């Protein structure tokens, strides 16, 4: 095991961990020795991923949770600590980005988008950060979007919520320092499930420097780096993983 990416004995929580970028992160940490807590709304999907983690010889805890609800975030944290006694790395990855003209966005949809992309992650990160600060420390990674850094017509509530997530992360990094590191992984276009709704051209090309969308597994090294104890001098940072937008 490369010492820079050795997570043996560590406990990693990944929300939205049953598919897409979250699933790739779960596999990567498990392959490097970590025990996993996999959270998403569908327990069957979480259990299927947990079985893959256990097949690698690691412990796994699947948890059904709506990460836009504070009560679910609180229950998830308590469940994790009841099962493992700690969380070493927490990754706020769950999100949603429905596209439609801004004047057609309903209040209900607006609240759902902001809830899942900002409100819920704030509560989860805050609860975990406090426990980490009272214990042996740890790392939190909040997964944002390139849409938080540039104009995003058609998904304005999403981009705005992710911008808030960026600001929140920097503030939490200062509030719970020095024992807790909080960083942002700012993802660009990736060929996850959402890409099924894209045009064929959009699945092949992108308006970034690499001129293509990312493969889901290409997020792995960034997550490992931000979570690694060897990155002990990195906090409050925003890492763009977007092919050079």
Q: Give the number of residues written for the chain.
A: 245
Query: What span, in angstroms and rounded, lies between the C-alpha atoms of 47 and 66?
Result: 16
> What is the C-alpha to C-alpha distance for residues 30 and 20, in angstroms, rounded to an integer?
16
Alpha-carbon distance 33 to 152, whole Å?
Answer: 38
With contact defined as beta carbons under 8 Å apart, do 91 and 169 qualify? Answer: no
Give the integer Cα–Cα distance in Å for 218 and 190. Answer: 9
- The alpha carbon dihedral of 30, 34, 37, 39 has a sign of negative
How far is residue 84's CA from residue 192's CA, in Å, rounded to a whole number?
Answer: 30
Residue of 81, 158, 176, 233 marked catalytic: 158
Q: How far is it, in rounded angstroms, from Cα 204 to Cα 148?
A: 23
Q: Is 158 designated active site?
A: yes
166 Cβ contact list (under 8 Å, min separation 6)? 142, 144, 148, 184, 186, 238
Catalytic residue positions, numbered: 158
């Amino acid at each position: 095991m490369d010492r820079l990416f050795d997570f043996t004995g560590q406990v990693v929580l990944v929300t939205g961990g049953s598919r897409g970028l979250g699933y790739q992160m779960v596999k990567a940490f498990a392959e490097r020795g970590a025990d996993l807590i996999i959270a998403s709304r569908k327990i069957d999907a979480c259990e299927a991923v947990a079985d893959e983690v256990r097949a690698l010889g690691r412990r796994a805890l699947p948890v059904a949770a709506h990460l836009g609800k504070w009560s679910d975030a609180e229950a998830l944290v308590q469940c994790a600590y009841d099962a493992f006694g700690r969380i070493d790395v927490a990754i706020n990855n769950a999100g949603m980005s429905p596209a439609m003209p801004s004047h057609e966005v309903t209040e209900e949809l607006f609240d759902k988008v902001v809830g899942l992309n900002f409100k819920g992650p704030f509560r989860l990160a805050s609860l975990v950060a406090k426990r980490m600060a009272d214990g042996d420390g740890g790392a939190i990674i909040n997964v944002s979007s390139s849409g938080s850094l540039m104009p995003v017509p058609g998904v304005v509530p999403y981009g705005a919520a992710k911008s808030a997530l960026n600001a929140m992360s920097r503030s939490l990094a200062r509030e719970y320092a020095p024992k807790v590191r909080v960083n942002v992984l700012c993802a660009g276009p990736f060929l996850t499930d959402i890409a099924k709704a894209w045009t064929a051209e959009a699945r092949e090309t992108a308006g970034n420097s690499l001129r293509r969308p990312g493969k889901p597994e290409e997020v792995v090294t960034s997550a490992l780096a931000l979570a690694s104890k060897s990155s002990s001098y990195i906090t409050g940072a925003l890492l763009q993983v977007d092919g050079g937008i």
